A and B are shown apart, each in its own frame.
Chain A
Amino acid sequence: MPASRPSHLALALLCCGGALFALSLADAARLRQQRADSGREMQALVRQLQLTDLCLFTEARYARHPSQADLHSAFQDHPLALEHFPSGSLLLPPANLSGHHERLDREAEVPD
């Protein structure tokens, strides 16, 4: 059987791909360990400064702190201005605007 049979080559290449896939998992573990320091640093900063959001989108204030925004902030500039910041198409309204306050009110007991 010739050594350079196409099927052998193809299977060897697929095995190489599989090995690289496994290697990517090992590399992920290595990188996680390597980048753990910056993670700890960020955790400490969040705790120290009492931060609430990631600094992902700085173009608009409701995108900079999505968890602190209110429903109207996307339309703040003009009553007829539709959302015009690109990150507005990436972000959803914060989870806390979907009716939780109402529910909290109902759950709350009237103080004595």
Chain B
Amino acid sequence: MNAWIEKQKYLIDFTLASLARRKAKSLGLLLVYSLIVFLLASVMLFTHALRHAANEFLAGAPEIVLQRMVAGRHDLIPPGYLERIGRLRGVQEKQGRLWGYYYDPVVKANYTFMVADDRPLAPGKLVVGAGLARTRGVAPGNLISFRAYSGKLFTFSIADILPAKSELVSADLVLLSEADFRAFFDIPPGHYTDITLRVANPLEVRNIAGKLAQQFPDSRPILREEILRTYDSIFSWREGIVLALATLALLAFAILAWEKASGLSADERREIGILKAIGWETGDVLRMKFWEGALLSLSAFLLGYLAAYVHVFHFAASFLSPVLKGWAVLYPRFELSPVIDGLQVTTLFFFTVFPYAAATLVPIWRTAITDPDAVLRG
């Protein structure tokens, strides 16, 4: 056993010396390889943590949101709907929500205006999200004016700012009183944006949604499980930008592996020829090259993965945020809670380490089994 270990160590020594002879090429390869792993691992860690956060935070969302559709578009809930729902068995709590969007031409950002029933506010007072406060540069006590869609100017005073820690769900929120909301958007009393329903028994939710769809044919019930599924699929491995990034990275990797697999350089071929000529067996050559592939791919995996971890969880995924920000002016500052999926890390490991090691072994084997004389001359 000791002899075997010693032999492997000598092979590694030789491999490292061989890599050191081609320093620039080896380092370049390690860098590109690590970058590919870094990119894939960053996206993987970020999207997994984000999906987990969405599932965790939105678990408290209402079980059912009932929207009204008119000509295929979302419309206001007219008076009388709430009362009619009251007769449905299994509905524990129902509430009309008032919320809408407002485009602020001052900073060219969209805000979400909302009435918080649990947080009564005096008329003329606002509570704003931390992202909005940062973008508009406002603090509690400041005045802020918005021009309503009717053309009338409304001036509010900032009563409070929502905690910065909750920016991932509240960065663009503007909470105001019901009277102010109705006056600002010119929404008559009794009308609501949508209705939320709390259902005590989770097994009843689909049943109640079915009854709602039956009772209100112009409505669209949105279940919490659908909301969670929406977020589950937004950053899924199989979809959208993640797929595009993963495909590009894998393509780059395939080119790298193909370059290795399609043939060896003249230097490498000569090296193998000399080794065979001085008495190395085919198995030894293969083992030496296996160590080369294994050391390189393992180092690249560890470097890439660790850099990705630090990037996502200690530097708030700063390289990915321009992609997520898009044209948005108002973007939340948030720190994701690290959730690492063992299966994903293992998949990444297998997809990056093994193909490379395999791709390097095949041409080596082809060269190693040919006559050294032919290899050296050829």
Give the Cβ gap from A62 to chain B, nearest Cβ, in Å.
10
Return chain B residues, CB-CB under 8 Å to A31. 313, 337-338
Return chain A residues, CB-CB under 8 Å to B73. 70, 72
Whether B16 pairs with A10 at a CB distance below 8 angstroms is yes
Whether A58 pairs with B306 at a CB distance below 8 angstroms is no
The residues in B between 126 and 151 inclusive whose CB is less than 8 angstroms from any CB of A are 129, 131
Interface size class for chain B? Answer: 35 or more
Whether B227 pairs with A67 at a CB distance below 8 angstroms is yes
Interface size class for chain A? Answer: 35 or more
Complex CA gap A58/B330 in Å reads: 6
B305 at the interface (CB under 8 A from A): yes
When each residue 170-202 of chain B gets 1 if its CB lies under 8 Å from chain A and 0 otherwise, what string results? Answer: 111101000000000000000000101000000
Give the Cβ gap from A106 to chain B, nearest Cβ, in Å.
9
Q: Which residue of A lies closest to B215 (CB)?
A: A111
The residues in A between 59 and 112 inclusive whose CB is less than 8 angstroms from any CB of B are 59-61, 63-68, 70-72, 85-87, 89-92, 94-96, 100-101, 104-105, 107-111
Complex CA gap A59/B29 in Å reads: 39
Whether A24 pairs with B306 at a CB distance below 8 angstroms is yes
Return chain B residues, CB-CB under 8 Å to A13. 299
Q: A52-B65, A64-B101 are in contact. Are A108 and B214 (CB under 8 A)?
A: yes
Whether B9 pairs with A50 at a CB distance below 8 angstroms is no
Partner of A6, one of B12, B170, B299, B335: B12
Q: A5-B9, A45-B166, A104-B210 are in contact. Are A52 and B332 (CB under 8 A)?
A: no
Q: What 15 additional pairs, Cβ within 8 angstroms, besides A31-B337, A54-B50?
A: A25-B340, A32-B339, A35-B336, A42-B166, A42-B170, A46-B58, A46-B61, A47-B60, A48-B116, A51-B169, A54-B169, A59-B326, A70-B74, A90-B234, A104-B206
Name the 10 nearest CB pairs between A and B, nearest first: A86-B326, A108-B210, A38-B165, A17-B302, A28-B338, A47-B60, A7-B12, A96-B226, A95-B229, A59-B328
Residues of B at the A interface (CB closer than 8 Å) are 9-10, 12-13, 16-17, 50, 53-54, 56-62, 65, 67, 69, 72-74, 95, 97, 101, 109-110, 112, 114, 116, 118-119, 129, 131, 162-163, 165-173, 175, 194, 196, 206-207, 209-211, 213-215, 220-223, 226-227, 229-235, 239-241, 295, 298-299, 302-303, 305-306, 309, 313, 323-324, 326-332, 335-340
